[in-house]
């Protein structure tokens, strides 16, 4: 069995966690030990492919399609670690958030064209839990309808995404809802470790450039929000730490620091499991990154969120923390109260217990999803 893990962009640590979660769960499954996993070059660096024993799909992107032209032209010269599309038996699409009005119809059309070729030689296509929609654009709606119809299983990550899939029509028996599946991954201690004076007092601040790119907040509002949070934390004798969860957020973190009288430390962990471990060691987290929130709350670390998409509202609801989703214009008194609730007293204890219960429920949901995926894959054996 040759399996392609698709769309786990190498610069996005959340996407890298999804890739590792897939490998972790399937390689431990009896009967799957001999499965070979492959990714496109943009989905994992060479170092990551070597670490995780991943084959390479040498795709050529052109004219809105994807083809493994080089591998088809001269296959005898390619080692067994280079996969061709014709050899793929299963695609696990872990796009996260790639199909909807925000992206236009191109992503879905490219997927349909590529998956159609794979289906022609018997491959199965599974869209793992991801945010989908909205689909107000007729071209996007049509492209998503084709994608849903060609897939063997589709998992929407939340009710709004499920409604978007329902809206495109067609057969829906293979469409389900399931939460993010990275919860079960164990983080590893950060390297270097947190300084002694920060242990037990660190509050991670995780910015996201998409808050500005999507217009969810103006630059002035967003920088002001994070600098206000940092000031409140410093007044409380907490240790704010800017955490770069994905490539491209460094300039934003630097801009936040320029708003402060005294800059706070900035930390980048290049290995996703060390990043998860770092977040798990925080006392609390304020995050605009989806998997920054997942990493925190699945480890029972209280979190506050900002949002540029419907997926944040649903994630906070899944963990019973929708009261800690804030806008960029939130006032200082509200910020102080919400931060206090995460950091001390009986309200923090109650919140931590709620997070543990929610994480356990979501692990059960993910396990059910995994069993359904395996049942689907093996149904043609």
Say yes or no to pLDDT of 357 above 90: yes
Q: How confident is the model at residue 85 (pLDDT cuts 50, 70, 90)?
A: confident
CATH 3.40.50.2000 fits 2-184+362-378, yes or no: yes
What's the pLDDT score for residue 73? Answer: 58
Say yes or no to pLDDT of 65 above 80: no
Domain ranges of the chain: 2-184+362-378, 196-360
Give tens-digit pLDDT for 218-237.
Answer: 999 999 999 999 999 999 99
Angstrom distances, CA of residue 142 to CA of 99, 156, 164, 292, 297? 11, 17, 12, 32, 36
Give me the CATH code for the 196-360 domain, please: 3.40.50.2000
What's the pLDDT score for residue 230? Answer: 98
- Cα–Cα distance for residue pair 213/159, rounded to 1 Å: 25
Mean pLDDT of the chain: 93
- Cα–Cα distance for residue pair 292/280, rounded to 1 Å: 10
What's the pLDDT score for residue 215? Answer: 96
Give tens-digit pLDDT for 131-189.
Answer: 999 999 999 999 999 999 999 999 999 999 999 999 998 889 999 999 999 998 999 99
- Cα–Cα distance for residue pair 107/203, rounded to 1 Å: 36
Say yes or no to pLDDT of 77 above 70: no
Q: Which residues contact 288 (CB under 8 A, 6 or more apart)?
A: 206, 207, 208, 210, 211, 305, 306, 307, 308
Instruction: Report the alpha-carbon angle 106-157-54, nearest 5.
Output: 70
Instruction: Report the alpha-carbon angle 247-83-132, nearest 5.
Output: 50
What's the pLDDT score for residue 130? Answer: 97
* Equal fold, 2-184+362-378 vs 196-360: yes
Tokens of 304: 């506050």
What's the pLDDT score for residue 58? Answer: 80
Provide the sign of the torsion angle of the four alpha carbons 280, 286, 292, 295, taken in this order: positive
Give tens-digit pLDDT for 94-122.
Answer: 999 999 999 999 999 999 999 999 999 99
Whole-structure pTM value: 0.94
């Amino acid at each position: 069995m040759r399996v392609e893990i698709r769309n786990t962009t190498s610069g996005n640590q959340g996407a890298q966690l999804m890739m590792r979660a897939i490998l972790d769960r399937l390689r431990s499954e009896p009967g799957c030990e001999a499965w070979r996993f492959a990714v496109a070059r943009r989905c994992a660096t060479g170092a990551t492919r070597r670490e995780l024993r991943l084959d390479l799909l040498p795709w050529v992107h052109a004219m809105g399609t994807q083809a493994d032209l080089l591998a088809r032209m001269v296959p005898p010269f390619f080692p067994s670690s280079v996969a061709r599309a014709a050899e793929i038996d299963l695609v696990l699409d872990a796009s996260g958030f790639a199909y909807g009005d925000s992206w236009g119809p191109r992503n879905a059309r490219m997927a349909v064209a590529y998956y159609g070729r794979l289906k022609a030689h018997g491959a199965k296509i599974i869209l793992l839990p991801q945010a989908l929609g909205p689909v107000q654009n007729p071209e996007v709606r049509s492209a998503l309808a084709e994608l849903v119809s060609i897939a063997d299983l589709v998992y929407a990550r939340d009710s709004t995404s499920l409604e978007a899939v329902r809206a495109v029509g067609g057969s829906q028996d293979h469409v389900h809802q399931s939460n993010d599946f990275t919860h079960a991954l164990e983080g590893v201690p950060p390297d270097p470790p947190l300084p002694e004076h920060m242990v037990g007092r660190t509050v991670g601040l995780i910015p996201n450039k998409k808050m500005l790119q999507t217009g969810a907040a103006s630059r002035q509002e967003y920088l002001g929000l994070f600098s206000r949070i940092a000031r409140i934390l410093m007044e409380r004798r907490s240790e704010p730490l800017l955490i770069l969860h994905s490539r491209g957020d460094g300039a934003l973190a630097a801009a936040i620091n320029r708003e402060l009288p005294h800059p706070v430390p900035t930390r980048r962990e290049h290995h996703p499991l060390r990043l998860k471990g770092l977040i798990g060691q925080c006392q609390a987290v304020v995050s605009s990154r989806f998997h920054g929130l997942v990493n925190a709350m699945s480890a029972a670390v209280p979190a506050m969120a900002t949002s540029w998409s419907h997926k944040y509202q649903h994630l906070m609801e899944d963990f019973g923390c929708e009261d800690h989703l804030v806008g960029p214009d939130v006032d200082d008194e509200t910020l102080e109260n919400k931060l206090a609730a995460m950091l001390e007293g009986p309200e923090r204890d109650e919140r931590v217990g709620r997070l543990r219960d929610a994480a356990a429920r979501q692990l059960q949901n993910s396990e059910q999803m995994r069993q359904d995926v395996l049942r689907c894959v093996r149904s043609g054996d």
